[in-house]
């Protein structure tokens, strides 16, 4: 089994319920077990600003799937939940990102781990710190806690909720 960390986001509909459904859907998939889920953070959109705020969280998974198969399971879950990719960084009912796949560094067509923007996004680092503050970014060789501290510059994100089914 490999430990993997995923990011969850939603800014349309019942955001919290949608993220809980996505996690349940992933747990129904053979080879994926949700081990822990972070608190939920409400954040302003990045990139495309004329859209509702996001709820963001992260989950630590145990998986017997290879990285590509795990990514495929994330994308399949998005599709089955009605995600439509109409505008880059635009509104979405569900967004599932593979953030870390063990301590592997993967650079393939359509699959990059660790996620390229992981160290640049507070809404990714805050939930990762909830789960594994001492986890090491395998490219930067720094802990999630240190990356988060550098980026938040004394203005940390505050959690707004927990995913009730996964507390």
Active site residues: 83, 92, 95, 97
Q: Are 92 and 10 in contact (CB under 8 A)?
A: yes
Q: What are phi and psi of 125, to 5 degrees?
A: -70, -40
Measured CA to CA, the distance from residue 46 to residue 53 in angstroms comes to 9
Nearest to 90 by CA among 122, 47, 40, 41: 47
- Please provide the distance, in angstroms rounded to a whole number, between the alpha carbons at the two ends of the chain: 22
Burial of residue 138, with CB atoms counted within 10 A of its CB: 0-12 exposed, 13-18 middle, 19 or more buried:
middle
Residue 120: other Cβ atoms inside 10 A? 12
């Amino acid at each position: 089994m490999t430990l993997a960390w995923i990011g969850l986001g939603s800014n349309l509909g019942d955001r919290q319920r949608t993220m809980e459904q996505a996690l349940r859907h992933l747990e129904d998939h053979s080879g994926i077990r949700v081990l822990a889920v972070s608190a939920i953070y409400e954040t302003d959109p990045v990139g495309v600003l004329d859209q509702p705020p996001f709820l963001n969280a992260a989950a630590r998974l145990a998986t017997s799937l290879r990285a590509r198969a795990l990514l495929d399971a994330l994308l399949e879950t998005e599709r089955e939940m009605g995600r439509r990719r109409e505008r880059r960084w635009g509104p979405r009912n569900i967004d599932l990102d593979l953030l870390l796949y063990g301590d592997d560094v993967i650079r393939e067509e359509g699959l990059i781990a660790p996620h390229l923007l992981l160290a640049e996004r507070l809404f990714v680092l805050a939930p990762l710190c909830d789960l594994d503050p001492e986890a090491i970014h395998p490219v930067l060789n720094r802990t999630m806690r240190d990356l988060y501290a550098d980026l938040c510059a004394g203005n940390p994100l505050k959690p707004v909720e927990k995913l009730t089914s996964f507390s």
